[in-house]
Amino acid sequence: MDEEHYSLSPEESKQVREAYLKDIGTKWLWFYTYIRIPLSVLTLLSSFPGGLSTLPGLIYLGFIVLLICNFVGLSGRKAWGYKLNWCVLGVECLLAPFGVISEGSFGGQLDFLTYSVVLAIVILIWLVPNAIYFSKRKGLFS
């Protein structure tokens, strides 16, 4: 058989893509972009540790800038926003154990085992579901 029987014209391909994207839910994407990211930025600003002269302060500032860029990219449905979101998710997972431990859990001590356990939990309950969700919505970003 001819290959042309299996290929779609650019217009047909666009119609199939639009039909698929019309049926895919985006409520979490909307909440994540317009509620969660701005609230995260506000929360980070309100709990800014030690000013910009400290390493935690510089990390907070860098993450705030990353979140703001992510907001711009996701709200504009840009491909770079989609890619940047993977960085944000990774950074969140890596930083989350510090927040949990510094709030007094686990005796307030950060050792490798404690960090690893908290990191594994964060990956399971935050990264995996978001990875599945965003992977299915890659077509929303151009």
Q: Judge whether 26 and 136 are in contact, CB under 8 Å.
A: no
Domain range summary for the chain, segments of one domain joined by +: 24-140
> Higher-confidence residue: 2 or 60?
60
Distance (Å, rounded) from C-alpha 124 to C-alpha 62? 25
Distance (Å, rounded) from C-alpha 128 to C-alpha 130? 5
The sign one gets for the Cα dihedral 91, 94, 96, 99 is negative
Q: Pseudo-torsion of CA 121, 122, 128, 134, nearest 10°? A: 170
pLDDT in tens, 63-116: 999 999 999 999 999 999 999 999 999 999 998 887 766 555 555 566 788 888
Query: With bands split at pLDDT 50, 70 and 90, how would you rate the model's confidence at 23?
Result: confident
Per-residue pLDDT, 134: 95
Distance (Å, rounded) from C-alpha 65 to C-alpha 80? 15
